[in-house]
């Protein structure tokens, strides 16, 4: 990274049509803080070509074949780490930043140098922009640390990380398919301070972000169960609840598991 390069890169792994990148890129182009955007084309049949008017600073790295989300994330991280960016933020196709998200998260990390990872609250919307519900996670390090023993407290498209944390905890791992983000964030939260900003800084699209979880629900819940078990703390009630809730989600039909989760929340 040269002296004139920004300290922040936004990472977007993508498998699908280029049109679904319009919304995130246009929202990023409205940010007032300087940043680069790195898109990993995960083996699309037609290589991604992003119109320059969507965002002025986009780089595309291409996989010749589809390798999956974990490999795409790590390909992007490898490029970002080699260029010595200070921060990396995530965003997905179909999602968009609101309320100067990047500026607010960078400012938070600058004020809190001990914090390695910051997310935010978010709003889930339909493809046409209709609001479905809000995602409001715990915000303080202590509450996050305890709640991570039940479920992931960070919505992946909302996070920003200090790049130096990867030298300490490693990158995304294939051993927990469909829950690679939970695994990474748990490793960070165990060793470092983390936070969520209470303000809703991302609108994430239901069809884009929930479809993978629906198709791969069993795999995702099994990975979640294994992560909770790997970090089990006999002194925390949240660990016991995490095991129970993950097991219930694994054996019950989706509708009943969702009802159980709401009752337990």
pLDDT tens sequence across 23-52: 999 999 999 999 999 999 999 999 999 999
Sort 7 into a burial class: Cβ within 10 Å, 0-12 / 13-18 / 19+: middle
Average confidence score pLDDT of the chain = 91
Closest to 223 measured CA to CA, from 94, 70, 119 = 70
- Bridge partner residues of 118 (DSSP): 160, 195
Q: With bands split at pLDDT 50, 70 and 90, how would you rate the model's confidence at 208?
A: very low
**Residue 96: closest CA among 62, 55, 57:** 55
* Rounded Cα–Cα distance for residues 100 and 105 (Å): 9
Give the burial string for 47-80 (b: 16+ CB within 10 Å, else e): ebebeeebbebbebbebeeebbbbbbbbbbbebb
CB 105 within 8 A of CB 160: yes
Indicate the pTM of the whole model. 0.91
Q: Quote the CA–CA distance of 152 and 226 in Å, as a whole number.
A: 13
How far is Cα 53 from Cα 214, in angstroms, rounded to an integer? 34
All structural domains of the chain with their residue ranges = 8-264
Whether residue 107 has pLDDT greater than 90: yes
Q: Residue 224 and residue 246: Cα distance in Å, rounded? A: 7
Q: Tell me which H or E stretch contains 142.
A: helix 141-147
- List, in order, residues 6 or more apart from 45 with CB less than 8 Å away: none
Alpha carbons 211 and 219: distance in angstroms, whole number = 14
pLDDT one-digit tens code per residue, 121-172: 999 999 888 999 999 999 999 999 999 999 999 999 999 999 999 999 999 9
Strands (E) across 26-74 are located at: 36-42, 58-63
- CATH assignment of 8-264? 3.90.550.10
How far is it, in rounded angstroms, from Cα 140 to Cα 150? 16
């Amino acid at each position: 990274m040269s002296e004139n390069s920004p300290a922040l890169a936004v990472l977007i792994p993508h498998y699908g049509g280029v049109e679904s990148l319009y919304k995130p890129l246009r929202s990023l182009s409205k940010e007032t803080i300087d940043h680069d955007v790195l898109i990993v084309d995960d083996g699309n049949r037609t290589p991604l070509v992003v119109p320059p008017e969507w965002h002025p600073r986009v780089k595309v790295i291409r996989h010749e074949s589809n390798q999956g989300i974990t490999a795409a994330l790590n390909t992007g991280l490898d490029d970002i780490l080699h260029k010595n960016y200070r921060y990396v933020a995530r965003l997905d196709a179909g999602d968009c930043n609101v309320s100067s998200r990047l500026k607010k998260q960078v400012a938070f990390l600058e004020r809190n140098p001990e914090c390695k990872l910051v997310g935010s609250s978010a709003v889930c919307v339909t493809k046409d922009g209709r609001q479905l519900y809000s995602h409001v996670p715990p915000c303080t390090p202590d509450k996050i640390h305890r709640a991570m023993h039940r479920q992931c407290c960070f919505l992946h498209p909302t996070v920003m990380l200090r790049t130096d944390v990867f030298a300490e905890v490693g990158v995304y791992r294939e051993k927990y398919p469909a829950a690679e983000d939970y695994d990474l964030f748990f490793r960070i939260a165990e060793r470092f301070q983390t936070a969520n900003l209470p303000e809703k800084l991302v609108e994430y699209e239901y069809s884009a972000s929930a479809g993978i979880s629906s198709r791969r629900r069993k795999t995702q819940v099994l990975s979640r169960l294994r992560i909770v078990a790997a970090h089990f703390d006999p002194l925390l009630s949240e660990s016991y609840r995490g095991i129970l809730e993950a097991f219930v989600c694994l054996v019950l039909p989706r509708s009943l598991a969702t009802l159980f989760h709401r009752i337990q929340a």
